[in-house]
Structure 1
Amino acid sequence: MIRPATPNDAPVAVPLLFLAMEEIARKISGTNDMQVVTHIFEHLFREPGNQYSFENTLIYESDNGVSGMIIGYDGGKLHQLRKPVLDYIRWQTGAGVCPEDETQPGEFYLDSIAVAPGNQGKGIGGQLINAAVERAAGEGIPKAGLLVSTDNPAAQRLYERMGFQVEYTIPFAGGRYHHLVKKLQTA
């Protein structure tokens, strides 16, 4: 079952989030101390109004518990949603490295997608992407976008099978990423 996240999902959602972006989380937090990084991202997940908030998260939950998550939001709100993240990190660690913009207005950005090991290959990621894309279409946003590392061709093939196409390649947080988009049938 796919459901909206709640603040109480932080202890299970944040480790999943780190499957998708642990290296980036360390970079923007300015520390390799995973206790500190985990504290930061659990706090952000519980708080409304930021890009890693429960408000932007869908959870995949089965009888075995939470096994997947996706974070997505209106790309036109990136700077508004990123500011509380960087402000909180600066307050906690003095860091708060601002990565390049990975999305833009007119796009529903799929920020982070993760499925727990042992549950991968069961279609959970695809179901989460479809649910987020439906949410975007319902909000009238004309396309969905995401980044995939140029070093991850298997994930790129999955996204392409789902109708996403490479639009361009960008540097992001020290890596190189393809920016893929999918045009949506809006309500």
Structure 2
Amino acid sequence: MIRPAQPTDAPAIARLIILAMGKLAAKFANNSNEQIQLDLFERFVALTGNQYSYTNILVCDEADEVCGMIMAYDGAKLDELRSPFLQYTTTQLGFTGQPEDETQPGEYYIDCLAVNPGHQGKGIAKRLINALFKRAAELNHQTVGLLVSKGNDKAKKLYTDLGFEVKGDKALLGGVHEHLQYRLN
């Protein structure tokens, strides 16, 4: 079942965020220790008013287990939503990076999508994306966007098979990503 996330989902969602982000999670936490990364994302998922908040997340719940999640928000609110997270990571964890803008106004931005490895191959990612399309339309958005790491051909194929189009490249914290967009009807 796809449903809105709740604060109590934070531990499971934090693991999925780290799975989706890969090395970026360690950069934000300024630490390769997975527990520090988990604590960071668990904290922000459970709060409101930030990009990682449960209020921006849909989860796939099967047998009372969060097995997948998708996180998205209005690109026009990136600075507002990113600010509390960057302030915390800078003052509490010593993060010194200056992330580039990964989205822009006019785009409902998919920040993270992840499915637990034991549940992959069951169509959960597609179900989450389709549920997000519905949510974006209900919020009067016409364009959904995301970044895919260069070389992540499996993820890129998932998105292009669903109708996303490559719009160009974007840099983010030292990595180069492809920017894809989908136009809602």
TM-score (norm 1): 0.95
d(CA) in 1 for partners of 2:145, 2:98:
20
Deviations 1:95-124 (A, max 9, x none): 252311110000000000000002111110
Matching residue of 1:97: 97
Deviations 1:39-95 (A, max 9, x none): 111111111000000010101011261110010000000000000001111232122
d(CA) in 2 for partners of 1:63, 1:110:
25
Would the aligned equivalents of 1:28 and 1:99 in 2 still touch at CA under 8 Å?
no
Would the aligned equivalents of 1:103 and 1:109 in 2 still touch at CA under 8 Å?
yes
d(CA) in 1 for partners of 2:91, 2:44:
13
Long gaps (5+) in structure 1? none
Determine helix, strand or coil for the equivalent of 1:151.
coil
Determine helix, strand or coil for the equivalent of 1:118.
helix
d(CA) in 2 for partners of 1:79, 1:132:
22
d(CA) in 2 for partners of 1:117, 1:96:
32
Would the aligned equivalents of 2:97 and 2:173 in 1 still touch at CA under 8 Å?
no
Matching residue of 2:36: 36
Alignment of 1:1-187 (within 5 A): 1-63=1-63, 65-185=65-185
Would the aligned equivalents of 2:18 and 2:37 in 1 still touch at CA under 8 Å?
no
Find runs of 4+ consecutive structure 1 residues off by over 3 angstroms. none
- 1:153 partner amino acid: D
Deviations 1:14-57 (A, max 9, x none): 10111100311211222222222211111111110000000101
d(CA) in 2 for partners of 1:131, 1:162:
13
d(CA) in 2 for partners of 1:86, 1:143:
26
Long gaps (5+) in structure 2? none
Identity %: 46
* Deviation of 1:147 (Å): 0.6
* Deviation of 1:172 (Å): 1.4
Determine helix, strand or coil for the equivalent of 2:117.
coil
Would the aligned equivalents of 2:2 and 2:61 in 1 still touch at CA under 8 Å?
yes
TM-score (norm 2): 0.96
d(CA) in 2 for partners of 1:66, 1:87:
29
Please provide the CA RMSD for this pair: 1.1
Determine helix, strand or coil for the equivalent of 1:49.
coil
